[in-house]
Each structure stands twice: as C-alpha cells, then as structure tokens.
Amino acid sequence: MSDKSNKTPSLARRASIYTLSRAVTAIAQVLAAMLLARFLPKSDAAVVLYLLAVYATLNTFGQLGLPDSVFYFFEKYGEARRKALCQLLAKLLFRLALAGAVVMLAIGWLGSIQEGFGLVRQLVWLFMAALLFELVTTPLPNVLIAVGRSKVAAGLNVFVGIAQFLALTLPLLTPWPVVGISVGMLVFAVLRFLVSAALYRKALGGDASMPLPEGTVRELLRYAVPMNLAQVFWALNREADKIVAQAFLPIAMFAVYAVGAREIPIVPTIAYSVGAVMMPYLVSNHLKGDRAALLSLWLRGIRRLSVIVLPMVLVLLTLAEEFITLLFSAAYVDAALPFRIYTLIMLQRVASYSGMQRALGSTKTITWSAIWLFVVNIALSIPMVLWLGMAGPPVAAFLANMFVWWYSLNSIRGLLKADWAEVFPMGHYLKVLAVATLAALPIFLLKTRLDMAAELKFVLLAALYFILYAAVASALGFISREDWRRVLAVVRPSGKSAPSR
C-alpha cells in the first residue's frame, strides 16, 4: 500500500470527525437559544424568534431536497461531471432563494401587522439578503464528503456553528440587540458564502468538466422533490404537538411544555452525520449491485452507533430533572415529564434510515415516512392530551415515531429483498440497551440520595454514568480497543490513522 493510502483516514475516523463537528454545531444552536431566552426581554425575543423561524423554514423548504442529491448523482455521473453538477445545483438554489426571499417578504409584512411586531417590516430585508447568500452554500458539506474531504467538511460545519452562534449572541452585548442580531445573520451568511466559495474552488475549481446529460434537471427534481416534501412534513411534525398543546393546555403549563418537548439535537445529529459519511459507499455498493457489502456496512454502522447513542439516551432519561434545570433553571423542572418521553424517541436514532433509502434511490418512501409520521402524530395527539394532559402529545409523538421506525425498516427490507435480521441487528441492539440500563441503575439510586445543586448533580452523575457504562461495555466486549483507539485518534490534534478500507 502506498504512503498516500496510509495517510488516508479510515471510514470510521471520517465519520467520527464529521460527527464531532456536527455535535459542535448542535451544541452552539442550543446555547444560542438558551442565551436568547435568558437575556432578551420577551417582546424582543418574540420578534427575533419569529424572524428566525421564518428564515429557518424558508431555508429548509427552499433547498428542495437538492443538497441531499449530491451523493447519488456524484456516483452516478462520475468525477468528470461533478463540477458541472455543482454549478447546476448552485444556479437552481439561487433561483429558489429569490423565490424564498419574496415569500419571506410577504410573511414578514403580514406578521408585522400584529401588535409589537412592527420592527419585523424593516428587519425582514436583512434576512432576505442572508437567504440569498446562504442557500446556495448548503450542498457544499455533502460535496466535500463525496470527494473524500470529510475533515474539511467537518471544519466547515464547526465554522458555521460558531459563526452563527456569535451572530446571534454578540449583539446581546449592544444597546440594540434585535437590530444587531438581524445584521449579524446577514454578516454570517456573507462569511459562509465567501468561505464556501474558497473551499469549493480548492476542492473542484481546477477540475475539467464534461457537460451534463440532457434531462439532468428533470432527473434531479424527480429524485430531490420527494425528499423536500418529506422535509416539509418533518417540519410540520416538529410543531404539531405544540399546536395541540397550545390549544388544550393552560398558558403557564404550555410554556413549561414547550421547553421540555424536544429531542436534544446532538443525538440524532450523530446518526445523520455518520449516515452522511457512509452515503458515498452505500450508493457505490448499490449501483455496483454489491448487496452483501451494502448490508455489511449498514449493519456495522448500526452496531457502532448503538454503543454511542443508547447510553446517551439512558443518562438523559435518568437525569431528566437535573438536565432541564441545568439548561433552563429550576422554574422549568416540570418540563422533565415531556422531555423524558421525547427522549424515548431517540432510542431508534441509531441509523439514518432516510440515508439508506436515498442510497437505494427510493426517495418516495422517505416522503411517505414523513407523511405517516405527521398523520399518526396528529391523529393521536388530541385524544392523548385530553386523556393524559401534558404527557399526551409526547406520548403521541413517541408512538408515531415507533410506527415510522418499523415502516422505514420494512421499506428498506423490501427494497433489498432481505430478512429483518439483515437490515437491523436486534440482538446486538438489545444487549447494548441492557448494558446501558444496568449502568443507569446505581446512578438513579445515587440521584435520590445526593443533596446538592441539580446542575452539579447532573455533571457529577453523568460523568460517573459514562465511566460505569464504559467499564461494563468494555468488559463485555461491546467497546473494543480499536473503538477506543478511534476515539483517541479523533481527539488528538495530530497523528496517523489506519489505512482506508
């Protein structure tokens, strides 16, 4: 093997680096939301959160699923057409950004009519400009991963997370935080555009490019639009339980519910990040017809993610009250009830199921998964809230997610004509879950006996939990020396990794 190949990071390390970068971004988003809620007056917070919600929604919808098409079409069209494909995606996304900016103006103008939201009419223009700069950059992390530059993609994610965090929080130190945040978001979008342009030029700028086949736009949209419809329903689903809760719960109880009714983003981020790094290999194996290699990589990813995700879920279940207090203060400790139920949803976040469906070219099944999730959630939420009160909507969300988990795996099984054991390693999953639960028992007992501040209790007991879990999992062989070596390889600032496989 050549020296060059020996310096190529392994798939596991690339996945670890990229996951770590996405975790940094997720944590930055949570911290920004905490600071906005704690330091802005409610009237100012309402304006900022309204603008951010409109911006984030149109940013998601405006992508039309195009960034997720990178992996599939890079493999299908080959290296010679990658540059042309990137240029086509940028043109399509800029046109979508123009349309999104018009929609944002209309929504912002209507929203400014409400009392207290008059400033929205002036500030929406800054967010419209930010959308034009940011939307065209959204495919770049996937492009970098597809051309084997996962570390650069990870660096870009970290930059985006930190830059957006600073754009949202530094203006809190000024006398005009609402205007400052709006200007900060535009500056962030321009910086992201400039950095992305430089990285794109370095990755693909010097490559020659063959023209794309006739009908590429139609084929792209046929592949991407179902994924965009899925994103629409996923976005609606995230708000469905809150809409029901707002209609049926007293306002004070709803404020508590809204704080707790969430998944901690770092956990699903791990699965999606690993899935993104695996995508080029899954697509390549599928297009080559190598079913055995495809399933082997898929199952290996689930086994490794189970070892990471399940203990994170168990520690949050065990220390829910302390975690909520740490984030939002003791005034919101009752939010631990919906938070604990939402955390149960994360038990199935051990794979990117939509990623596998994209790799198999079946984006319609992703759309149907999202539709089923929304429909079942809405159908169950109203009777559940009438029956269980604040616990009702999250129970409905949990049941809807469990159904869609089965539906997604069943669709993958059907596409591959495989048995259940070939698409999900249930035996390994249950063993890891048992180990994670076993390690949580002494932590729960200590929790009821320790008399200290909730914040300190969470930090202390969470650290102790992971030490116990790591010891038991290592003793039983769930975590190997190779796994520890990969973790150390990620956190070390330098060092060589194993050859690529």
pLDDT digits (tens, 9 = 90+) for 74-85: 878 888 888 888
143-199 pLDDT, tens digit each:
888 887 878 888 898 899 899 999 999 999 998 999 999 999 999 999 999 999 999
pLDDT in tens, 277-302: 787 888 888 888 888 999 998 998 89
What would the pLDDT profile of 214-263 be if each residue is shown by its tens digit? 888 888 888 877 777 777 777 667 766 666 765 676 756 766 776 777 77
Report the C-alpha gap between 167 and 163 in whole angstroms: 6
- Which of the four pLDDT bands, split at 50, 70 and 90, describes residue 108? confident
How far is Cα 437 from Cα 446, in angstroms, rounded to an integer? 15
Is residue 118 over pLDDT 90? Answer: no
Residue whose entry in the numeric block shows the structure tokens 């900016």 = 101
pLDDT band, very low/low/confident/very high, at 2 (cuts 50, 70, 90): very low
How far, in Å, CA of 463 to CA of 199, rounded? 38
Tell which wins on pLDDT, 4 or 46: 46
Residue in 280, 289, 301, 300 with CA at minimum distance from that of residue 416: 289
Q: Give the tokens for residue 145.
A: 């991963």
3-state helix, strand, coil split of the chain in percent (to 5) is 85, 0, 15
pLDDT above 60 (res 487): no
Of the two residues 430 and 35, the one the predictor is more confident about is 430
- Report the candidate in 488, 474, 230, 484 with the shortest Cα–Cα distance to residue 357: 230
Run of H or E residues at 22: helix 11-39
- For 70-191, strand residue ranges (E) read none
CB-count exposure of residue 297 (10 Å: 0-12, 13-18, 19+)? middle
Which pair of tokens denotes residue 369?
A: 């998964």
Half-sphere exposure (CA, 13 Å, Cβ side) for 199? 26
Residue 10 phi, psi (nearest 5): -70, 165
